[in-house]
């Protein structure tokens, strides 16, 4: 098989897939051996990973072939492994591959292309944490979490379609298996009709901190073909693997880090991520002109996901017309996310600025509700001790009032307000976000007319008064001029 490096001493064992901790351990051990100039030991650790398709390991092999360190100096082999590493997403391999390829003769380049075309990733197993080449095909090992809130229809959909999605991912590129093996568990939630979220569940929300759990909306199955859902899963797996490996960085076409925030594009090819990232940078620059009082509503957001409608969706009903939204069920401290629904072609940097502040206000509200609920639970224990002794009634009354205030806020945020027919969303939270949005637009030099597009303005009297006052100020200013 083209590109295979044969090492002795490896015997077939019971096939057991390598997990993320195994991949990281073997790669790090290889680095230590290489630094100590134990090149053969480094190769024993890196070769199985490289042949399985791990980009950073392939880059290391390419550098050894190129310099003749630990391996015979072979420019053609070095170029092969460097190009494979680059295709796998390794940023450092891009320059390496280019430098090595340009030194090849036309005949060598032709041979390189043939090897690249024929190359297929090999199966790798881990025995007692050590990665080894396997003569047997290994299967992905993962658990599927099916919560009580999933509908029976969605449970059946997951059982039927998830294996198909993963099989599609493996057919897209045989090297994808080494990255997909990093996923320990798939955690599905119902999601809205056109929700396409795929992302890692924060460690603080996972009972077993050692597990790598991928949180996924069931709505991802509602595409015309499984290709893009499969691609999204592979991308998230690669991000996790590269993040864990030293001296490695993923060449990610679907994500940018802007001012410390992760900005995710769409996996669908008909969505213009380039324009989206450009306008987002412009919006981030506008944020710097906001007053300090508004910055907490922007700073609290950790991730921004682009989720407009794609022609690859299977349409059923009306698509959510919201410009952007914050999802409390997916967010947590240090992992607060907002989603952009509107296509960037119909938006502007100012629109994004508005959504940052509006949805950031919801993130702050979410944080306040959670902290208030936790504080209330602690205060209840204190109150119980005071009431059992009958001491300091004034202090007991004060604590009781704090508990009531905190729980009222948390209940209104998480459960809404009670009506005769059930519970509905408390519009007070949207009104607060709208008022902050008005302050932001005004501070940036926008027009009051921009707020005409807000669906909440007519529901929020205080916000209406803000806009009227703003208009009056402009009239006075124009008269003075």
pLDDT digits (tens, 9 = 90+) for 232-278: 999 999 999 999 999 999 999 999 999 999 999 999 999 999 999 99
How far apart CA 20 and CA 180 sit, in angstroms, is: 9
- Residue 2 is predicted with a pLDDT of 39
Query: In terms of DSSP bridges, do strands 185-189 and 143-145 run parallel, antiparallel, or are they unpaired?
Result: parallel
How far apart CA 394 and CA 200 sit, in angstroms, is: 47
How far apart CA 171 and CA 404 sit, in angstroms, is: 57
8 A C-beta contact, residue 296 and residue 440? no
Compute the average pLDDT of residues 352-366: 97
Q: Is the pLDDT of residue 363 over 80?
A: yes
How far apart CA 278 and CA 269 sit, in angstroms, is: 17
Mean model confidence pLDDT for the chain: 92
- Residue 14 is predicted with a pLDDT of 47
Contacts of 256 by beta carbon, 8 Å cutoff, 6+ apart: 262, 263, 265, 277, 280
Q: Is the pLDDT of residue 225 over 50?
A: yes
Instruction: Identify the CA nearest to 59 among candidates 255, 213, 248.
Output: 248
8 A C-beta contact, residue 83 and residue 97? yes
How far apart CA 241 and CA 27 sit, in angstroms, is: 11
Task: Categorize the per-residue pLDDT at 9 as very low, low, confident or very high, splitting at 50, 70 and 90.
Answer: very low
- What residues pair up with 215 in beta bridges, in sequence order? 187, 199
Q: Is the pLDDT of residue 42 over 50?
A: yes
**What end-to-end distance do the CA atoms of the chain give, in Å?**
80
8 A C-beta contact, residue 200 and residue 213? yes
pLDDT digits (tens, 9 = 90+) for 129-186: 899 988 888 889 999 998 889 999 999 999 999 999 999 999 999 999 999 999 999 9
- What residues pair up with 223 in beta bridges, in sequence order? 313
Contacts of 46 by beta carbon, 8 Å cutoff, 6+ apart: 26, 27, 30, 57, 60, 61
DSSP of 346-391, one letter per residue? G--HHHHHHHHHHHHHHHHHHHHHHHHHHHHHHHHHHHHHHHHHT-
Compute the average pLDDT of residues 445-460: 91
55-67 vs 20-35: helix axis angle to the nearest 10? 20
Instruction: Report the share of the chain in percent with pLDDT over 90.
Output: 82
Helix (H, G, I), strand (E, B) or coil at 339: strand
How far apart CA 459 and CA 179 sit, in angstroms, is: 49
- Residue 321 is predicted with a pLDDT of 66
How far apart CA 364 and CA 345 sit, in angstroms, is: 29
8 A C-beta contact, residue 353 and residue 304? no
DSSP of 28-57, one letter per residue? HHHHHHHHTT-HHHHHHHHHHHHHHT-HHH
pLDDT digits (tens, 9 = 90+) for 393-437: 899 999 999 999 999 999 999 999 988 888 888 999 999 999 999
- Residue 143 is predicted with a pLDDT of 95
Query: In terms of DSSP bridges, do strands 261-264 and 324-326 run parallel, antiparallel, or are they unpaired?
Result: unpaired
Q: Is the pLDDT of residue 477 over 70?
A: yes
**83-95 burial: b if 16+ Cβ within 10 Å, else e:** bbbbbbbbbbbbe
Q: Is the pLDDT of residue 7 over 60?
A: no
8 A C-beta contact, residue 41 and residue 75? no
Torsion sign across C-alpha atoms 62, 63, 69, 73: positive
Query: In terms of DSSP bridges, do strands 124-127 and 213-217 run parallel, antiparallel, or are they unpaired?
Result: unpaired
Task: Categorize the per-residue pLDDT at 218 as very low, low, confident or very high, splitting at 50, 70 and 90.
Answer: very high
Domains of the chain: 20-133 (1.25.40.10), 143-244 (3.30.2010), 273-481 (no CATH)
Q: Is the pLDDT of residue 308 over 50?
A: yes
- Residue 347 is predicted with a pLDDT of 86
Token pair of 115, please?
């090897």
8 A C-beta contact, residue 89 and residue 251? yes
**pTM summary value:** 0.91
Q: Is the pLDDT of residue 15 over 80?
A: no
pLDDT digits (tens, 9 = 90+) for 73-102: 999 999 999 999 999 999 999 999 999 999
8 A C-beta contact, residue 232 and residue 195? no
């Amino acid at each position: 098989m083209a590109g295979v490096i044969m090492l002795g001493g490896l015997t077939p064992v019971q096939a057991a897939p390598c997990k993320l901790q195994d991949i990281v351990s073997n790669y790090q051990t290889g680095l230590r051996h290489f630094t100590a100039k134990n090149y053969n030991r480094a190769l024993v650790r890196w070769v199985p990973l490289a042949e399985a398709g791990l980009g950073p390991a392939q880059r290391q092999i390419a550098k050894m072939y190129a310099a003749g360190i630990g391996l015979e100096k072979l420019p053609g082999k070095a170029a092969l492994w460097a190009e494979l590493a680059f295709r796998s997403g390794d940023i450092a391999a891009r320059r390496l591959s280019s430098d090595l390829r340009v030194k090849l003769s036309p005949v060598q380049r032709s041979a390189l292309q043939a090897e690249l075309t024929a190359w297929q990733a090999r199966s790798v197993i881990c025995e007692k944490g050590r990665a080894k080449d396997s003569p047997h095909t290994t299967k992905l090992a993962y658990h599927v979490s099916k919560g009580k809130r999933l509908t029976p229809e969605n449970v059946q959909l997951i059982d039927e379609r998830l294996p198909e999605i993963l099989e599609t991912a493996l057919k897209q590129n045989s090297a994808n298996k080494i990255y997909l093996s990093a996923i320990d568990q798939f955690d599905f939630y119902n999601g809205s009709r056109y929700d396409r979220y795929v992302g890692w569940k924060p460690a603080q929300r996972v009972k077993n901190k050692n597990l790598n759990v991928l949180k996924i909306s069931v709505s991802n199955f509602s595409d015309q073909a499984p290709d893009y859902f499969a691609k999204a899963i592979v991308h998230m797996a690669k991000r996790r693997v590269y993040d864990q490996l030293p001296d490695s960085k993923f060449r990610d076409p679907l994500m940018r880090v802007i001012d410390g925030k992760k900005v995710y594009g769409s996996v669908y090819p008909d969505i213009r991520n380039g324009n989206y990232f450009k306008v987002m940078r412009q919006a981030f620059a506008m944020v710097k002109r906001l007053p300090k009082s508004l910055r907490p509503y922007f700073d609290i957001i950790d991730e921004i996901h682009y989720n407009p409608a794609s022609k690859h969706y299977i349409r059923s009903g009306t698509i959510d017309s919201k410009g952007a939204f914050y999802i409390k069920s997916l967010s947590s401290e240090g992992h607060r996310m907002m989603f952009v629904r509107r296509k960037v072609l119909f938006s502007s940097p100012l629109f994004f600025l508005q959504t940052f502040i509006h949805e950031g206000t919801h993130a702050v509200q979410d944080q306040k509700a959670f902290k208030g609920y936790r504080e209330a639970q602690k205060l209840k224990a204190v109150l119980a001790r005071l009431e059992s002794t009958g001491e300091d009634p004034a202090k007991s009354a004060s604590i009781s009032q704090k508990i009531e205030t905190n729980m009222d806020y948390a209940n209104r945020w998480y459960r809404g307000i009670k009506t005769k027919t059930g519970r509905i969303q408390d519009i007070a939270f949207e009104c607060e976000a709208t008022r902050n949005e008005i302050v932001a637009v005004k501070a940036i030099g926008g027009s009051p007319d921009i707020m005409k597009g807000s669906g909440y303005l007519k529901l929020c009297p205080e916000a209406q008064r803000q806009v009227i006052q703003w208009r009056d100020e402009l009239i006075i200013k124009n008269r003075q001029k």
